Amino acid sequence: MTDLAHIRNFSIVAHIDHGKSTLADRLIQSTGGVTAREFRDQMLDSMDIERERGITIKAQTVRLHYTARDGKTYILNLMDTPGHVDFSYEVSRSLSACEGAILLVDASQGVEAQTLANAYLAIDAGLEIVPVLNKIDLPSADPDRVKREIEEVIGLDAANSILVSAKTGEGIADVLEALVTRLPPPAGDATLPLKALLVDSWYDAYLGVVALVRVKDGVLKRGMRVRMMSTGAVHEIESTGVFAPKPTNVDELGPGEIGFVTASIKKVADCKVGDTITEDRRPAAEALPGFRPSLPVVFCGLFPMDAADYGRLRESLEKLSLNDASFAFEAETSAALGFGYRCGFLGLLHLEIIQERLRREFNLDLITTAPSVIYRIQMTDGALEELHNPADMPDPARIAAIEEPWIKATILVPAAHLGGVLGLCTDRRGEQVELTFSGDRAMAIYRLPLNEVVYDFHDRLKSVSRGYASFDYQMDGYRAGKLVKLQIMVNAEPVDALATIVPEERAYQRGRQMCGRLKDLIPRQLFMIPIQAAIGGRIIARESISAMRKDVTAKCYGGDISRKRKLLDRQKEGKKKMRQFGKVEIPQTAFLEALKFDED
Amino acid sequence: MSAALTDPPEIALYVHWPFCRARCPYCDFNVHVRRTVDHDAWRRALLAELDHFAARTPGRRLTSIFFGGGTPSLMAPATIAAVIERASTRWQGAPDIEIGLEANPNDRAAFRPLAEAGINRLSLGVQSFDDRVLRFLGRDHDANEAREALDQAFAVFSTVSFDLIYAWPEQSEESWRAELAEALTRARDQLSLYQLTIEPGTVFDALRRRGALRPASGDAAGPLYEIAQDMTAASGLPGYEISNHARPGRECRHNLVYWRYGDYAGIGPGAHGRLTEGEIKRATRQLRSPERWLAATQAEGHGTAESENLGAAARAQEMLIMGLRLAEGIARADIRRETKSELGEVVNMDAVAELIEAGLLALDAERIGATAAGRQRLDAVLERLLA
C-alpha cells in the first residue's frame, strides 16, 4: 500500500493526432517502465486497429515510478483515454478515476473540436488541468497563438502551459515534475469499509474477466470476498495487480491506487462498469456515484455475404461484445438480405471499427445496411414506440407524431473554409447556435438531426474544409419532425433494406437520387425492371433498367460443351454475390451504395 | 439416376490440327506454333486414335468429318486423305458425306490439293473486308487476299462458308452494314458471323486489363447482331444458329450434330467428343499438348485426358445449352430419349413460364426453343433455366 501523498492519478486528453500516445510512450520510457528492448511505439494501443488508425479505443492504464526533484519517489497512474467522441463515455469513466489531467494540444494545429469536448469532460469531472503544448519542434509550431486559443476557446489559464516535443523528448521532465507539483494527491481512508470503483472490464483469454478498479476507501486483497453493490453478486478475489505496463501482481490495492483484480467472474456483463465493489463482510453504507450506461445511438443491419456464415457472424458478435458492453445486437430478418443482425453502436467510428474487426479478426464478408438512428413514434392510441429500423415503421395512419434525435455539434475550422462548412450544415437541416472567432479560426456550434450526420457528414466536412475542420458532438434530445418513410420498389416489390426515413420536404429529391443510383447499380436483366420510390402508396420517382440487349457466347467450338457447362456452374457461384429479389438480382454492394448522398 | 440409352445409328468425326503460323490475339483455342511438324508421325497418330474410337463405336453410319484447328489448311493433303479413307472404312462411309475443313485465305494454293484429298466443304477465315480491322485482329492476310481466296474456293469446293468477326471496338452500324452487304453478295450457301469476345489468356485480354482495349458492350453488340439477323434473312441466309447462317436446307451438317447433341468422336490434341456406349454417354477430351498427345497416342493408341460419364442431369443441361442455340429448338421427344425424363424434371418450369411470358422462350407439345430475342440473350436465359 502506497502513502496517498505519493500517488498521482492522471489522464491525458487530446484531439486525435495531437500526440497523446506518443507522449504516453515517452512518459513510460523516461520513468523506466519498460526496457528499450520491450518498447514499441504506442505501447498502450493494444489492438491492431488502434495502432494502425492511431486512435485509442479502450481505456488503458499504466503505473509509473517517478523520483521527483524533491528526492521522493511517486507512483504516477496514467489512465489512457480514447480521443474520439464515440467513446466519450469511456473518457468520463477514466477521468472519474483521476485527480488531474494533461490537456495536450498540438502547438501548430491548436485547439480542435475534441480538445474542447475532452477538456470540458475533465473540467466537469472536477480535475486539475495542466495544459501541455506538443510538437514544438515543428517549424509551424506557434505556442503563443495556441495558448491564446486555449484561453479564448476553452477558457483555461494557459500561462503555465508546458512546451514539449513528445517526439524528441524535450520538456518531458517538466511534465513529470508538474504532475507531482500541480496535481493533488488522492484522498481516501484505508481503515474505512472498502469502496472501489469498477472503471472498466474486459475478457482475457488467460485470466478470464479482468476488472480495472480505482480504490477510494479501504483495501482490496487477494482472498477477500467482495460484493458488487448494484447486483449483490459476491466473488472471491483471486489476484490483484497493476500494469507496469505489463500486468504485475501486487499483494493489495489501497486508497488512491489504480489496478486490476480477477475473481473467477464468468461474463463481462457481470462486471458492470461504474459499479462499486465493497467487502462482503463489512460493506460500505452507500455506493459511489455510478456512470450513466452508454447507449447505442446508431443502428445498422449486418448480413453475411454468404448465408452459410450466419452462425459464424453470431459467434463473432458474441465474442466482440464480451469486451465491448456498449455494443448491442439482435437478430434481424430482411426479405432482401436474409438472416442477419441489427446492431447498435455508440457512433459512426464505433460502427466502422466493429465492422472492420469482424472482417479482419473473424474473416467475415458482410453487407452493411444504411446506418439509422432511433426514432420515437407517438402512436394515435397514446403508445410510444422506438423505431430502430425504418423497415419496421408502423402504418402512418396510426402515427400521431415522429420524433428524431438531434445533436449539438461543435466544429472548429479555419475562417477561410467556414463558408463550405456553414453551407453543409444548412444543407443538413442544421440550426446555428453560435459562431465565434479566435484569430483566424472559427468555432461554429450547430444543432443538427443525428440522421443527417450518420451517413457521410464527416467525409463531407473534411472535403469542404480540405481536411482542416474538426468536429465533435453530443446528443441534444428529441424533436418532432415531418418525417416520412421512403420506400423503394424494384420491379414493383418493396425492398425492405432500402427503406429510409426522410424529412418530407426532402423525399422527392432523395427518391429521385436513389432511383437514379439504383439504375446504375443493378445490372441489366433479361426483363425491363422498373425502380420506384414511394411514400405510402404514392409513387414519387421512377426509373427503369432496360432489358439486356445481347448476352450470348458467340461460339461453342469443336463441340466443347463441357466448357459452357463449367461456365454455368461458375455463374451459379457468382449468384451468391447477388440477392435474388423476385425476378431481379441485386448485387449486395448496391444496398449501401444506393444510400450514399450525392452532393458532388 | 441412370437411364438406358440406345446407341444412335450415326456418328460424326472431328479432327483437331493444333498448329498455326502465328497465334491471333483474340484466339483461345488449343493452338500451338511449331517450326517443324513430323507429318508422317502425326498421320499415324491420328489414324491410331481414329481406330481407337471406331473400335468403341462399331457399325455406325458416318455422317460428316470436320478438320478444325489451328490451321488445318497446313495439314499434308496425304494425311487428310488417309483420315478420310480410314474413317470411311472403319465406320460405314457414304460417298456424299460432308467433309469440311477450316482454311486461312493465305493457304489458297492448297485448295485444289485439299479438294483432291476429299474435302468438299471449305470454311474460310475471312474475318473482315477491312484492312484496318484485319491488322487489329492480327491476321496475316489483307482484304483483297481474302476476296481472291473466296473466289478460288468457290471454283474448287461444292460448299464454301466464311467467317466474319464483328463488334470490334468502336465498330459503327454503317460500317457493319457495308461489310455485311459485301459478304452477302459473295456468300452462296453459308456464312458465319461471330461477335468478338475477349477470352481469358489472350493478348486482347491482357490489353483489356491494361485498359488499352475496350470491347463492345452488350448494348453496342446488340444492334450489330440485330442488323446481321435482318440483313442475312433478307438475303435468303437466315440465322439457323446464333452465329451461323445458311440457305435453308444447306446448313452445315457437321455442326448440326453438335447442336442436336448427336454422337461425335474427337481426335487430335484437345479434341472433344460425345459418345454413347451402351448405357453410358461419355464426354471425352484428348490431351491438349501436341507433344504429350503424340507420345500418348504412339504408346497407347489414344491420347484421352478425360472421359466423363455424363449423368442424365448433365446430358439434359448439355442438350439445352446446344439445342437452344438453334432456331429450330429441341424436340421434346429427344429430351425424353436422352434423359428418360420430362422437361419439367430437367428445368425450372417457373423460369420457363417467366421466359415464355417475356417472349424469350417458345414451348409447345412437340418442341422447346428460344425465340429470336431469347437466342440473342441465351446465356442469361440458360442461367435462369439451369443455374
| Residue numbers in B near A527 (CB within 8 A) | 358
| Residue numbers in A near B356 (CB within 8 A) | none
* pLDDT at position B1 over 50: no
pLDDT of residue B99: 98
B289 part of a folded domain: no
CB within 8 Å: B358 and A527: yes
Task: pLDDT band for A599, please (50, 70, 90 cuts).
Answer: very low
Determine what percent of chain A is predicted with pLDDT higher than 90: 43
pLDDT of residue B285: 96
Examine the domain organization and report whether B56 and B202 are in the same domain: yes
CATH number at B68 reads: 3.20.20.70
Examine the domain organization and report whether B247 and B317 are in the same domain: no
B307 part of a folded domain: no
Cα–Cα–Cα angle for A217, A223, A224, rounded to 5 degrees = 35
pLDDT digit string, tens, across residues A5-63: 999 999 998 888 888 888 988 998 888 765 555 555 555 555 554 545 444 445 468 88
Examine the domain organization and report whether B30 and B107 are in the same domain: yes
Tally Cβ neighbours within 10 Å of residue B133: 20
Domain-ending residue, one of B243, B258, B273: B258
B282 part of a folded domain: no
pLDDT of residue A293: 63
For A579-600, the DSSP string reads EEETTEEEETTHHHHTTS----
Amino acid identity, residue A192?
L
Before A503, cis peptide (omega within 30)? no
- Domain span at residue B340 reads 313-387
Domain-ending residue, one of B242, B258, B274: B258
Examine the domain organization and report whether B179 and B30 are in the same domain: yes
Query: Nearest CA of chain B to the CA of A531: how many Å?
Result: 18
C-alpha span between A249 and B158 (Å, rounded): 98
pLDDT digit string, tens, across residues A482-499: 999 999 999 988 888 888
Query: Nearest CA of chain B to the CA of A499: how many Å?
Result: 28
**Higher per-residue confidence, B372 vs A441:** B372
B274 part of a folded domain: no
Examine the domain organization and report whether B43 and B107 are in the same domain: yes
Q: Lowest mean pLDDT: which of A25-34, B118-127, B345-354?
A: A25-34
B382 part of a folded domain: yes
pLDDT of residue A597: 56
| Residue numbers in A near B360 (CB within 8 A) | 526
Examine the domain organization and report whether B366 and B237 are in the same domain: no
Examine the domain organization and report whether B252 and B318 are in the same domain: no
Nearest alpha carbon to residue A531 among A559, A512, A551? A512
Structural domain count of chain B: 2
| Residue numbers in B near A525 (CB within 8 A) | 380
| Residue numbers in A near B266 (CB within 8 A) | 558-559
Which chain A residue shows the shortest CA-CA distance from B265?
A559
Q: Lowest mean pLDDT: which of A21-25, A424-428, B83-87, B189-193?
A: A21-25
Q: Report residue A414 as a C-alpha cell.
A: 479555419
pLDDT digit string, tens, across residues A195-212: 999 888 877 777 778 888
B42 part of a folded domain: yes
Highest mean pLDDT among A27-36, A46-55, A289-298, A427-436: A427-436
Q: Report residue A154 as a C-alpha cell.
A: 476553452
Show contacts of A427-434: CB within 8 Å, 24+ apart: A427/A599, A428/A452, A428/A453, A428/A457, A429/A503, A433/A408
C-alpha span between B61 and A349 (Å, rounded): 74
Cross-strand pairs, A404: A479
Examine the domain organization and report whether B252 and B371 are in the same domain: no
CB within 8 Å: B321 and A564: yes
Q: In the block, which residue shows the cell 478420310?
A: B84
Examine the domain organization and report whether B36 and B104 are in the same domain: yes
Q: In sequence order, what E strands does A439-556 have?
A: 441-449, 470-481, 483-490, 493-494, 500-503, 529-535, 538-545
Q: Report residue A525 as a C-alpha cell.
A: 436483366
Examine the domain organization and report whether B244 and B317 are in the same domain: no
DSSP secondary structure letter of residue A504? G
Examine the domain organization and report whether B42 and B152 are in the same domain: yes
C-alpha span between A563 and B376 (Å, rounded): 20
CB within 8 Å: B375 and A552: yes
CB within 8 Å: A559 and B387: no
Examine the domain organization and report whether B179 and B59 are in the same domain: yes
Which CA distances in Å does A438 have to A108, A113, A140, A151, B117? 14, 13, 18, 10, 97
B285 part of a folded domain: no
Domain-ending residue, one of B258, B278, B294: B258
A556 touching B (Cβ < 8 Å):
yes
CATH number at B319 reads: 1.10.10
Query: B-contacting residues of A 488-527, CB under 8 Å?
Result: 524-527
B131 part of a folded domain: yes
C-alpha span between B259 and A564 (Å, rounded): 13
